[in-house]
């Protein structure tokens, strides 16, 4: 189990949850702890470990939903536009009028 962060550091980056969601999240974490403890017992059959791992995965999904985090890749960032630049609007080619070639200056 990872070390617990205590004091003000524990609340610094914690997301704000409503009381109903906070209660549900606490219950979810308690269920995850029970599933973990049951899975590491030495006399557990492989099919029971598989069922516990499936339960763990579903609990992780519920935890993500309760915390309000979207699925990875579901939000696409808007393209960054550098200030001072605009997108070029290409239209039909512009015809340039060229000056007639200058006559040879050596003859004059």
**Which pLDDT does position 47 carry in this prediction?**
96
Higher-scoring residue by pLDDT: 105, 57: 57
What residue segments make up the domains of the chain, in order of their start?
15-66
Spell out a b/e string for 74-91, using b for 16 or more CB atoms within 10 Å of the CB, else e: eeeeeeeeeeeeeeeeee
**Which pLDDT does position 56 carry in this prediction?**
94
pLDDT tens digits, residue range 12-43? 666 666 777 888 999 999 999 999 999 999 99
Percent of the chain beyond pLDDT 90? 37
Query: 29: which residues sit within 8 A by CB, 6+ positions away?
Result: 63
Q: Which two tokens stand for residue 93?
A: 């080619």
**Alpha carbon distance 37, 34 (integer Å):** 5
**pTM for the full predicted model:** 0.54
């Amino acid at each position: 189990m990872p070390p617990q962060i205590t004091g003000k550091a524990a609340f610094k980056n914690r997301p704000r949850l409503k009381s109903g969601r906070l209660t549900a999240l606490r219950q979810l974490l308690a269920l995850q702890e029970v599933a973990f403890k049951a899975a590491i017992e030495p006399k557990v059959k492989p099919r029971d470990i598989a069922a516990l791992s499936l339960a763990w995965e579903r609990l992780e999904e519920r935890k993500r939903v309760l915390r309000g985090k979207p699925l990875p890749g579901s939000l696409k960032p808007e393209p960054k536009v550098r200030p001072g630049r605009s997108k070029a609007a290409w239209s039909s080619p512009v015809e340039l009028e060229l000056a007639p070639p200058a006559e040879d200056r050596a003859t004059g």
